[in-house]
Structure 1
């Protein structure tokens, strides 16, 4: 049960007698007698709100009801606080998902015209869309994504749509509905990042120089759009903290976070390393109602003895709360919806050098819980008024058609969960009762200079939006005011935002960098070092001596950032500075990676220098650097096996969705799936691999002497009529002969024999059974 776009994972097949999510041999015994399961009627908003309980000192308000929004999945606030919402109002219209992929979905603008805190006006900005999944602002309009592509749409006065063009035809290419990119978060570094994607984007002035390792993919009269590779992250939804670090969900786990800013270790195109992400807190949840309507609730360990969901199984669009309306102790907490459990969970983020972790804010409880089975919170956002906004698709069916089991189909029909789904939706506001709401923003009419003061606002939404607006205006007359804000050395959050506003304007200057380095907060100093990469060449030359002196630091975070600067400041004999700094923190997490990434394309020159030091016995540590290639054994296969390989490649990145858990490079994804690269489970016994692919696998698994403990079992494909034995042989052949693996092809006959020999298998294998 793997959740991404608030939909659980599976494979395509529609059969009213056996569902595509069924696993051969699974005994789908109802875990709870039917007469013990409470009904799940469609509730009007007033009644639905009575089913929701929040923690003491919090209150829940309705912001928009069924008359204003239908099945909201993601959104963005504009500079005046209006909500631009993507509606998936054709999502699973019935239990079989018939007529879902039709162009009848919308992007709507919701606004509060009388200032009473409740939305009262709906404007359909775009209609006839196919399952929209991402939206963000750019100069002159919006970027949005549908089921397959990324588009630009010009916004004209009166909320009219102007020019519409495809900006990236490959944005959501391949995969099924729940395994496609989404979000388009405008991050601190002024790049757009996505969940379920390894691409990032940036909107630049038409005359701007292309950033390192990027390429131009689209241009209009307002901007040019560039694209570059990023780390593959998340499943559905994306958020960030005050330091620009990204947070997302990993399948059946709560929010996960990255210790470094995105792309920190991607400077060197010939050195590949994954930042990875850490789970923020445990996997347990505390539901208020029994939860039999979960795809595999019949399996042991999914529900508690009372019939309540035990662990996350549908983690959705999480956020890091950065508002100013909750009490201070909640600032920066991670908040995650669990739509299968009808709840929202909160965790404190705990940071230590090189790592993130978390703990429950409300031990053995949740910040919000509902006993309404149709309450489906799928995305969360810090709002301009400082509160937390909740998007509720209010949908009886949560599981997507490609995964539905016969058990779940029965559950849905028994309680009428297939009815009343595509004409409703709710947006709620979770607020503290200890403080009033903030004011409605009116930022669109302000000049760049007038906007600067808002960079220091206590609410993260205001800071982020202000930075974006100043960057979009491209007005460098604001630079003196921004420098002044940095020099005041006030709230660290405002200073960090100001530094990256200068980067967005192409106006990073030595005055600002020096001022940032004097701040008493280490995160400000780290970000001042980070933006020094964008100084002019002449100012870099001036700053080099100061940076060299700064390498004497004893602070781990500053050392990481200096190493990431690498070739921007050091070359030749000056490499000694980097060697000394790396040696000082030898063995600490990300030190080696930061050094090698920071060298950029100068890694060969550094390698020669480092070898010389090693030969002289003056270097404590030497790391070989070089280009990492995706090695393929394709050319050594015969004609028939090459055909299998090609078919397997198509399936791996297509309908089989293998890349969704194991990654497009097969090196695994955090909290999702282990690596296939050099995996003994892939390259050793063909028969064992066939057993796993046919019937699935669960339990902690060791690959290359490293232990992986993913939250949910790997599903088998054997019972899915979409995949024949030849298809499975093709996938096996591809993964055994790509990504550096070279173990030869697997024939269709292997799968036929294993299928016959294991026909009585009723559950996924436990790892120890196959060792």
Structure 2
């Protein structure tokens, strides 16, 4: 009996302790919420005092309202002026009322008294609806004004002749999921995030080509022209290999070495409570201090190449996280052609603010070597499409809707320094000298200006620079390519050097010089390096560029690569990328050399062939769009941007809808997912998808007043009948029943719950 009382006492003590801990946590949480119950609007100078930046550095104000409002994208010209895109119409309230009003602008900001602070504003172009990207090219400006991409000639800082470059640049998708970036890369092509297209101006013509699908918001390059990007829940993604290779097979979902996870650690360390995030109510989103645990709005990765901050920062990749009011720093290293990275710190950030309205959305290298930050400075950062009732309440409780007329541009510099604006003299010899400058922005700009002004008188000097130190020779190579003056002999200069990174640049440039006349010489060069493990993937990626007249010799080289590298995923995928429409022939070649079906090349070929067969069976019935017109529109604007136009999913974003038992199964479960969202691992067609392969969360749209129950029923009916799916339609009544059944629910489902 005594032991029973003793056990009961222990049990009561444990229960009381548990209740006390819960009570303590609840009390702590309430105290934290009370501390951050209001969100003051701070002037720019005061806002800087709320920032914590790494020791030895400081944040300086470059521009603030009324000189600039709601900045989302920027580029510098050779005069050191900032061309800024203002997305003035973004989310005026939680319903997005008035987003279609043409109040967006492209403005030019200038520092006329050279004190480091902009003091002059000129409107280059106005009356735009949610403009999102900009790039200076030749005598004009590329401007992304959804859904179109325009080239606008610059007539003394006023818009001149307009040329439509792409009438479907941002077709489909909402504001958070539309192409952007317009990065003018080292290879003279313009690349984008949230896109599989690249662009280039040649003479008076604009070229558009298919490339790898990359990222979500923002895109950057390193000193070798390799591209880096991310999505809202992943720190850094990127390419191991040259941007322009390996995208030739549309049936191949992904190619090893592209869209790789460079920094897999997505933890964040805000310096204030961040309850105003879209899923703050979900367990694990916030910690006990009510601070964001993992990235939820990661954007605009920047490879810092400015030199001003010091050697330790060279080639670091900075990432903005506006929901966490912070900027992250990542350290990157190469191991062969593989690039890996890690966060620079544990439990702290490069820059973080206690000001909830600090919303860094875009990062840039500057002509002066500083790191530039575009701050939308506003309360609402989440777009209406996925805005949860929880976040709507957060916005209302702290009056985060207003004001809407703020915006700041900052720069990070060594403490006490005030670098002067850098103006580039438009002189061929001066531009030539800048190709070897320590500041990567100046090297890039010098190359672009030489190409834009077609300074062919520099060709002999550029050829001589092919023998100079690393960055000067790489830029000389691509400047010659941009001028249309690159020759095979120029490429061979770099190809025969000992540095494998220089050799890789030469291989990337080979397609630009390859002709039927020199194809044999190129083939011989590739034969000489085919056994080099570091360069073998490049050789495989280049096979499609070889002249058709050399098909026998090319097939022989392909066979040797299959023989030697059948178990190398990078070479395997490179081989598949070059055999579009000939995958069965490649499979037969592999079987003749290596009958082992467990080899990497065999397994990856099997996957591609299966996808091809599925596509043949899957025909998008055009009548679906007529039967469910609103469903077709919603699919393009809400679903397609993550799940793909073919319904087969997009790497790093979302799993397939095509042949998904979730889509074609119980329509009430599907409706629950779309209304309330889905979190955690999900199995489709026998394969489990989970982070980091895809984003771990799919937001629900049930609380979005823009979509009626009939609309949601239509989009579900649409995807249940699309591609290879053949499932019964969903009715408006079905949606209403699911809403009624889960009335009051806010959090997303897991697959375990739905089962």
How much does 1:614 deviate?
5.0
Query: 1:562 corresponds to which residue?
Result: 539
Using the TM superposition, name which of 95-104 and 270-279 deviates more. 270-279
How much does 1:579 deviate?
1.6
How much does 1:42 deviate?
1.7
SS for the counterpart of 1:682 is: helix
- Counterpart check, 1:455 vs 2:435: yes
Query: 1:431 corresponds to which residue?
Result: 413
Pick closer, same or farther for the CA change 1:284–1:314 going to 2, 3 Å.
same
Spell out, residue by residue over 1:588-609, the C-alpha distance to the aligned partner (whole angstroms, 9 max, x if none). 2221221232356xx64x9658
Using the TM superposition, name which of 353-362 and 752-761 deviates more. 752-761
Q: Any conservation in 1 of the 2:282–2:747 contact (CA below 8 Å)?
A: no
Pick closer, same or farther for the CA change 1:658–1:577 going to 2, 3 Å.
same
Alpha-carbon separation, structure 1, partners of 2:592 and 2:62: 68
How much does 1:230 deviate?
2.5
Alpha-carbon separation, structure 2, partners of 1:334 and 1:669: 24
How much does 1:123 deviate?
1.5
Query: 1:212 corresponds to which residue?
Result: none
Alpha-carbon separation, structure 2, partners of 1:202 and 1:677: 34
SS for the counterpart of 1:664 is: coil
How much does 1:442 deviate?
1.3
Query: 1:769 corresponds to which residue?
Result: 753
Pick closer, same or farther for the CA change 1:293–1:764 going to 2, 3 Å.
closer
CA RMSD of superposed structures (Å) = 3.2
Alpha-carbon separation, structure 2, partners of 1:618 and 1:413: 65
Using the TM superposition, name which of 233-242 and 726-735 deviates more. 726-735
Q: Which of 697, 720, 744 is residue 713 of structure 1 equivalent to?
A: 697
**Structure ranking higher on relative contact order (CA contacts 8 Å, 6+ apart):** 1
Alpha-carbon separation, structure 1, partners of 2:740 and 2:66: 55
Pick closer, same or farther for the CA change 1:718–1:141 going to 2, 3 Å.
closer
Q: Any conservation in 2 of the 1:194–1:238 contact (CA below 8 Å)?
A: yes
Query: 1:213 corresponds to which residue?
Result: none
Query: 2:168 corresponds to which residue?
Result: 170
Using the TM superposition, name which of 580-589 and 721-730 deviates more. 721-730
Q: Any conservation in 1 of the 2:237–2:260 contact (CA below 8 Å)?
A: yes
Pick closer, same or farther for the CA change 1:133–1:567 going to 2, 3 Å.
closer
TM-score (ref. length: structure 1): 0.84
- Counterpart check, 1:388 vs 2:371: yes
Query: 2:57 corresponds to which residue?
Result: 58
Pick closer, same or farther for the CA change 1:679–1:241 going to 2, 3 Å.
farther
How much does 1:228 deviate?
2.0
How much does 1:341 deviate?
1.5
Q: Any conservation in 2 of the 1:86–1:134 contact (CA below 8 Å)?
A: yes
TM-score (ref. length: structure 2): 0.86
Alpha-carbon separation, structure 2, partners of 1:401 and 1:589: 41
How much does 1:371 deviate?
0.9
Pick closer, same or farther for the CA change 1:344–1:616 going to 2, 3 Å.
closer
Q: Which of 176, 180, 183 is residue 181 of structure 2 equivalent to?
A: 183
- Counterpart check, 1:201 vs 2:223: no
Pick closer, same or farther for the CA change 1:675–1:349 going to 2, 3 Å.
farther
Pick closer, same or farther for the CA change 1:404–1:635 going to 2, 3 Å.
closer
How much does 1:151 deviate?
1.6
How much does 1:373 deviate?
1.4
Query: 1:39 corresponds to which residue?
Result: 38
Q: Any conservation in 1 of the 2:681–2:688 contact (CA below 8 Å)?
A: no
Q: Any conservation in 2 of the 1:72–1:426 contact (CA below 8 Å)?
A: yes
How much does 1:253 deviate?
2.6
How much does 1:756 deviate?
5.7
How much does 1:380 deviate?
0.3
Structure 1 unaligned segments of length 5 or more: list them. 1-28, 206-222
Query: 2:125 corresponds to which residue?
Result: 126
Alignment of 1:705-744 (within 5 A): 705-709=687-691, 710-720=694-704, 722-724=706-708, 726-739=710-723, 741-744=724-727
SS for the counterpart of 1:501 is: helix
Spell out, residue by residue over 1:326-384, the C-alpha distance to the aligned partner (whole angstroms, 9 max, x if none). 22122111111111121111111244456544211122211111111111111100111
Q: Any conservation in 2 of the 1:377–1:391 contact (CA below 8 Å)?
A: yes
Pick closer, same or farther for the CA change 1:646–1:471 going to 2, 3 Å.
same
Spell out, residue by residue over 1:253-294, the C-alpha distance to the aligned partner (whole angstroms, 9 max, x if none). 323223333342223466564543315241111111112222
**Whose helix proportion is higher, 1 or 2?**
2
Q: Any conservation in 2 of the 1:682–1:736 contact (CA below 8 Å)?
A: yes
Alignment of 1:120-269 (within 5 A): 120-157=119-156, 159-205=157-203, 223-268=204-249
How much does 1:475 deviate?
3.4
Q: Any conservation in 2 of the 1:112–1:120 contact (CA below 8 Å)?
A: yes
Query: 1:326 corresponds to which residue?
Result: 309
Spell out, residue by residue over 1:176-203, the C-alpha distance to the aligned partner (whole angstroms, 9 max, x if none). 2222222211112211122222222111
SS for the counterpart of 1:340 is: helix
Alpha-carbon separation, structure 2, partners of 1:40 and 1:762: 24
Query: 1:74 corresponds to which residue?
Result: 73
Spell out, residue by residue over 1:11-48, the C-alpha distance to the aligned partner (whole angstroms, 9 max, x if none). xxxxxxxxxxxxxxxxxx99646533253222222211
Alpha-carbon separation, structure 2, partners of 1:418 and 1:760: 24
How much does 1:96 deviate?
4.3
Q: Which of 483, 505, 508 is residue 483 of structure 2 equivalent to?
A: 505
Query: 1:577 corresponds to which residue?
Result: 557
